[in-house]
Structures are given as C-alpha cells and as structure tokens.
Amino acid sequence: MNLLSTDTLSIARSLLGMEITTSFNGVCTSGYISEVEAYLGAEDKASHSYRNKRTDRTEPMFAEGGTIYVYLCYGIHEMLNLVCGPLDHPHAILIRGIIPVEGIEEMYRRRNKSRLKDLSNGPGKVCQAMGISRSQNGQRINTGDISISNGAKEVLDREVSVGPRIGIDYAGEDSLLPYRFLWHPQVD
DNA sequence: TATAAGATTTACT
DNA sequence: GTAAATCTTATAT
C-alpha cells in the first residue's frame, strides 16, 4: 500500500481487510477494516478540505500520506481518517467500520454494549472501541498509537460493495459519488 | 462575540 | 420510524 499515491480510491479499496491496531498502556485492540469512505480534497464538496480550505482543523489533511486526521463530529463523536497523497494534497479516508479481532473485552468496556455488532459498525463507534481521540490527531501511522498491517484474509471483489457516502447531503451532486467501500466477507 | 451546522449515535414512540 | 444529545468549527456581524 503506497500512501503517497494520489489514487485515493484505490487506497480506500485496498484498506479493506487490513488490520488496524491501537495500543495504550499495554492495552491492545485491533480489527479488520470493513468499511471506508474516500474524501478527495480540493475537488470534493463533501471534504473538509474542499477548494483547499486550510484551517487549524484541516491542517493534518495537508500533511503527507500516512498522517492521522481525527476530528469531532456533532460535538460528540470522534472520527478517524487516514491522510493519503503527497504533501499539500489533502485527501483522506474515513474509517467507518471494523471487525473486532484483538482486545474485544476492552471494546465492550469502552463501548458499554453487550452485542458484538454494536461495537464498531460506525465511525464514532470505531474510535470509541479502539480508544482513539483527537490526541492522536496529526500522529503518523505505525509510529504512534495507531498501526495498520496486512490482514489475515484476501478481500475478493465479489465481497466488496461500492456506493454513495453517508451523511453528506450538504455536498450536492457530490453526495452521489461512489466513494464508500463496504466489505462483507463470506463465511468459510 | 454570536450563530448555524455538522463525514453520528442513541433512545424512544 | 423520529428526535435529542452535544460542542467545536467556520463564518458572519
């Protein structure tokens, strides 16, 4: 996976099935990435960095690929993004869902839920389950609290759905673009 | 300073 | 199905 590539949609597709891990004070949680959305920076009305809008909040999006972008949504939920592309190319991929792998007991504690499916099937839930907050904003992947490595299974094209992104009606016609990738692995 | 809106989640009817 | 929760950020006075 080349995070400096400008082909953000290909990176988004290739993130599916990869294992994302956090470790805090020896407490480790991980999961396979199952849902992502691509935000294509300057040319994408749904992106915080549309028209290269540069603010304190969006600054990490302009950093090199491999940077972590975490922001607060609706005053309540943290959202985890992986920045990609070269410097000053503000594309990012929102991690919307994972399949829990390691530290599942800790995820239940953090989420205060009793069902596995309620742990991490949404972007705010992913951050809560993995203990991610804005204190990870601007860190680099694989050198800070968050790491991404190859997953255990190959993700077949027939197991992947592509469709419009969620919750971005404000983006006009760009809200219809097929930038959401969903992995539904087949049982074996 | 003030205001509106938001890449959502949850509980409730 | 609908609506409330909650607070930062961006934009406008």
Each residue of A67-77: pLDDT tens digit?
999 999 999 99
Please check whether strand B approaches the CB of A46 to within 7 Å. Answer: yes
Please check whether strand C approaches the CB of A170 to within 7 Å. Answer: no
Please check whether strand B approaches the CB of A123 to within 7 Å. Answer: yes
Per-residue pLDDT, averaged over A145-167, amounts to 97
- For chain A, the C-alpha Rg in angstroms (whole number) is 15
pTM: 0.96
Scanning the structure block, which residue is given the tokens 């909040």?
Answer: A57
Dihedral angle over CA of A98, A100, A102, A108, nearest 10: 120
Protein residue nearest nucleotide C7, by CA to C1' = A75
Q: At what angle do helices A123-130 and A104-111 cross, to 10 degrees?
A: 110
pLDDT over 80 at A143, yes or no:
yes
* Structure confidence at residue A74 (pLDDT): 96
pLDDT over 90 at A133, yes or no:
yes
Please give the C-alpha separations between residue A43 and each of A20, A52, A53, A129, in angstroms, as whole numbers: 28, 8, 11, 32
Which nucleotide across the nucleic acid strands is nearest to A75, CA versus C1'? C7
